[in-house]
A and B are shown apart, each in its own frame.
Chain A
Amino acid sequence: MPDPGTGEQLLRTAHQLIVENDDIANTLELPRLASRLDVIREICRHLAPYQAGERPIVGATVIAKDLTIDSLAIMDMVMELEDSFDVSIPMNVVAEIHTVDQLADTILDLRAKR
């Protein structure tokens, strides 16, 4: 690909994830091939602040309905996930995504197509 010479560098940077854990922030290097579990975990981390009551966030959670997140915050979360996994998810594709599972599958599909 005619990417700039820094392409590899950028790719590595995009894989640096800050994982917060009780005020202790660790920087992890995500493996080149993100597993489905990694993706789900990362999505859940973004969604945690919007959890409604005690109901856990699972693969079948409908993001816009089962959580307290609004449409703008969903789009902002997608932007963060795009950078974490180095993919771009067009807005019309986002509009078709309802559940955590679907979002994870979309990210994995786009990564596979790169």
Chain B
Amino acid sequence: MGLFDRHAGLLEAYRDVRTTGADPFQIRMERVLSPTEAIINGRKTLLVGTNNYFGLTFDPSCMEAAIEAIRAEGTGTTGSRIANGSYSEHVLLEEEIAAFYGKKHCMVFTTGYQANLGVISTLVGQGDHLLIDADSHASIYDACKMTQAEVVRFKHNDPSSLESRLRRLGDKPGNRLVILEGIYSMLGDSAPLKEFVEVCKKYGAYVLVDEAHSLGALGETGRGLCESTGVLDDCHFIVGTFSKTLGAIGGYCVSNDPDFDILRVTVRSYMFTASLPPSIVASVRQALRVVKARPELRKQLWDNVATLYDGLAAQGFKLGPEHGPVVGVHLPDRMLAIGFWRAMLDAGIYVNVAVPPATPNGVSLLRCSVCAAHTPQQLEHMIEVMTGIGRQLGVISGAPKLRVVAGSR
């Protein structure tokens, strides 16, 4: 048996995908022009699938900060923080994130994936109990494979499902750690965090919230779902990423636990990988300042979300359950989703296509992510294009529903 034989089924499915004429998993951006436009296949393409929620990848102040840092400190750190030491800026970034959340401690990781992977798998061990939402991100599932704790899934966004699982643990020894996400990355829905926190308090469980997609987007000052639901102080650990709203790469975890720093010498995804380069640390520090100084970006983002979500809903598309910076468009099956995605690309609009097994409940989705930098015209154009393709493919009915339906929703 060859090494790749086990992937035979996947290879076949992948071949199917590529017969549509473009490979959604190997898109090449020949040139990125701005947070909302790139050249793909030789033509200018509207980007609506890049998680660039505030459009900060081209923010002049963030770019300048990164360039200056490279001049001052070079291109990379060439090692991990426990081996090569920390640069002052790593420590300053951690202090600034901790202060942003009003928490005592912060650890910065080289990616958000590594933050979840390392923190979750290390916080619980043999004899402990890890309870995760069924729709958790891959980094959380991978952490489950690395821990000796017993892992149990509860139904997505269902506090009563979590409660029955905590209740069943009864008086078994061991810590309980519950993992939730601020905004789920496929359908853009938020956890009922207040209700979850109540259940966790009742059963003495620790709470970790991943704010990867909600940093900047939710809360009065952009701290995420923990802030918008008023439970910041009840969440023991908050994880997040620099690769979405903050426009770079990296991850973090904040906590008030007095012994938190022991994770620096126990979390392997922190210890055995090179630390963030100076340019990234500098742009992230600046991006965090921008998030604090320009709340209007959050308003722009949500205005744009409303434009896209309501516009698509009015045309009869089946969407995720609520407004969110991620707008997931349900399609009946995998091949239709890929065909739709390809037609969108041909029409000059890039979104993500998400198909099983990467999606919850085996759904096929066009996954759109909205940016504060999108203009209303860009989004209106996108709705028009999607409506045309949707009608051609029979995903939505041909008759224009337009305003009447919009008014009644």
- Please give the residue numbers on chain A whose beta carbons come within 8 Å of chain B beta carbons, in ascending order: 1-4, 7, 10, 14, 70-73, 75-76, 79, 82-83, 86-92, 114
Q: Nearest chain-A residue to B148 (Cβ)?
A: A92
Cβ distance B205 to chain A, nearest Cβ, rounded Å: 14
Known interface pairs A1-B170, A79-B134; A88-B361 also in contact (CB < 8 Å): no
Interface pair A4/B153, CB less than 8 Å apart: no
* Subset of 27 A-B contacts with CB under 8 Å: A1-B171, A3-B167, A4-B167, A4-B202, A7-B167, A10-B167, A14-B164, A70-B362, A71-B357, A72-B356, A72-B357, A72-B362, A75-B153, A79-B134, A79-B155, A82-B165, A86-B164, A86-B168, A88-B168, A89-B152, A90-B151, A90-B152, A91-B151, A91-B152, A91-B153, A92-B151, A114-B168
Q: Is B227 an interface residue (CB 8 A)?
A: no
Residues of chain B within 8 A (CB-CB) of A79 are 134, 153-155, 161
Contact assessment for A76 and B134 in the assembled complex, using a CB-CB cutoff below 8 Å: yes
Given known A-B contacts A72-B362, A83-B161, A91 and B168 have beta carbons under 8 A apart? no
Seed contacts A86-B164, A91-B151; 16 additional CB < 8 Å A-B pairs: A2-B170, A4-B167, A70-B356, A71-B357, A73-B362, A75-B134, A76-B361, A79-B153, A79-B155, A83-B161, A83-B164, A89-B152, A90-B150, A91-B153, A92-B151, A114-B168
Contacts known (A70-B356, A79-B134, A88-B169); A10 close to B150, Cβ less than 8 A: no
- Chain A CB within 8 A of B144 CB: yes
Q: Which residues of A contact B161 (CB under 8 A)?
A: 79, 83
A-B CB contacts (within 8 Å), total count: 51
B134 CB contacts on chain A under 8 angstroms: 75-76, 79
Smallest beta-carbon distance B74→chain A, Å? 43
How far, in whole Å, are A88 and B150 apart by their CA atoms in the complex?
10
Smallest beta-carbon distance A78→chain B, Å: 8
- For B164, list chain A residues within 8 Å (CB): 10, 14, 83, 86
A89 to B161, CA, bound (A): 14
Q: Which residues of B contact A83 (CB under 8 A)?
A: 161, 164
Cβ of A15 to closest chain B Cβ, rounded Å: 12
Is there contact, CB below 8 Å, between B170 and A3?
A: yes
Q: How far is the CA of A82 from the CA of B169 in the complex (A)?
A: 13
Query: What 0/1 readout, one digit per residue, does chain B (134-157) give for beta carbons within 8 Å of chain A?
Result: 100000000010000011111100
Chain B residues within an 8 Å CB radius of A114: 168
CB–CB A70/B151 < 8 A:
no
Indicate with 1 or 0, residue by residue over B162-179, a CB within 8 angstroms of chain A CB atoms.
001101111100000000
Residue of B nearest to A7 (CB): B167
Q: Tell me which of B168, B171, B202, B361 contacts A87 (CB under 8 A).
A: B168
Q: Which of B28-55 contact A (CB under 8 A)?
A: none
Task: Kindly report which residue of chain A lies nearest to residue B361, judged by CB atoms.
Answer: A76
Residues of A within 8 A of B165 (CB): 82, 88
CA distance A83 to B356 in the complex (A): 25
Question: Nearest B residue to A90 by beta-carbon distance?
Answer: B150
Contact indicator per residue, chain B 345-389, by CB within 8 Å of chain A (1) or not (0):
000000000001100011000000000000000000000000000
Whole-angstrom distance between the Cβ of B135 and the nearest chain A Cβ: 10
**Chain B nearest CB: distance from A34 CB in Å?**
15
Question: Bound complex: CA of A99 vs CA of B357, how far in Å?
Answer: 22
Nearest to B170 among chain A residues (CB) is A1
Which residues of A are found within 8 Å of B150, using beta-carbon distances? 90, 92
CA distance A14 to B151 in the complex (A): 21
Cα distance, A14 to B167, chains bound together (Å): 12
Please indicate the chain B residues that have their CB under 8 angstroms from the CB of A72 in the complex: 356-357, 362
Q: Which of A1, A2, A4, A76 has the most chain B CB atoms closer than 10 A to its own CB?
A: A76
Give every chain B residue within 8 A of A10 (Cβ-Cβ): 164, 167
Q: Which residue of A lies closest to B155 (CB)?
A: A79
What CA separation (Å) do A44 and B171 show in the bound complex? 32
CB closest residue in chain A, given B141: A91
- Set of chain B residues within 8 Å of A87, measured between Cβ atoms: 168
- Residue among B134, B167, B356, B361 with max Cβ neighbours from chain A (10 Å): B167
Q: Which residue of B lies closest to A91 (CB)?
A: B151
A114 to B167, CA, bound (A): 11
Taking CB atoms, residues of chain A closer than 8 Å to B152 are: 82, 88-91
Question: Please, how many angstroms separate the alpha-carbon atoms of A86 and B170 in the complex?
Answer: 12
CB neighbours (8 Å) of A75 from chain B are 134, 153
For the complex formed, measure the closest distance between the CB of A20 and the CB atoms of chain B, giving whole angstroms.
19
- Find chain A residues with CB under 8 A from B168 CB: 86-88, 114
CB distance from B139 to the nearest CB of A (A): 16
Identity of the chain B residue whose Cβ is nearest the Cβ of A80 in the assembled complex: B155
- Provide the residues of chain A in CB contact with B167, threshold 8 Å: 3-4, 7, 10
**Interface of chain B residues 229 through 248 with chain A (CB within 8 A):** none
Q: Which residues from chain B contact A91 at a C-beta distance below 8 Å?
A: 144, 151-153
Measured between alpha carbons, how far is A7 from B202 in the docked complex, in Å? 14
Q: Nearest chain B CB to A67's CB is how many angstroms away?
A: 14
